[in-house]
Amino acid sequence: MGNRHSGWLAVVLALLLPSAAWAGEKPAKKLAGEEVIVTQSGSGEELRGHIVDLTPESLAILVDGRRVEVPIENVLRIDSTHDSLKNGAIIGAAVMGGLTALSCADVRDAGFCVTGIAVNTGLGALVGAGIDALHKGRSPIYVKAGKSESALQVKITW
């Protein structure tokens, strides 16, 4: 009976873990049409819109129906408003699965524990993904590199 439950646990864990076969074959991220927030380096002004074109020299963004060209040297950062639900699902699964595993320390029936861990890990993943879907955050796509001379340095001397 215990082997059957550990088999199901292995299947559930295999589905939750990223596939090694996809690791080097991810397609390049397409940015055209993505909703972004662009912070300009000179004024600090933020432009909200959709990317039309992004080249090493310039950024074309559609803001309120008009095309705005911004040279890359004038861009401080580009933030995406799209956030993957994967990290929320992973955090929720880890928290619920971990708490359930800790609570199984005193339970003598291993099959009951394995089933509880599997079910609660799945529920935690759903709750985590749901909470992440409600969160509208910013994910940086591009951040302008600072000059090394002006970087904050902390030195400890004795």
pLDDT digits (tens, 9 = 90+) for 36-91: 888 888 888 888 888 888 888 888 888 888 998 888 888 888 888 777 788 889 99
Radius of gyration of the chain (CA): 23
* Contact of 142 with 77, CB cutoff 8 Å: yes
Architecture of the domain delimited by 31-82: Roll (2.30)
Question: The pTM is what?
Answer: 0.47
Asked if residue 34 has pLDDT above 50, the reply is: yes
* Residue-wise pLDDT tens digits, 118-149: 999 999 999 999 988 887 777 777 788 766 54
What is the DSSP code string of 8-38?
A: HHHHHHHHHSPPGGGTT-PPPPP-TT-EEEE
Instruction: Round to whole Å and give the CA distance between 94 and 150.
Output: 40
Other CB atoms closer than 10 Å to residue 12's CB: what's the count? 19
CA 53 to each of CA 70, 106, 138: distance values in angstroms, whole numbers, following the listed order: 11, 59, 20
Instruction: Round to whole Å and give the CA distance between 74 and 8.
Output: 54
In the chain, where the domains are located: 31-82, 85-135
Asked if residue 14 has pLDDT above 60, the reply is: no
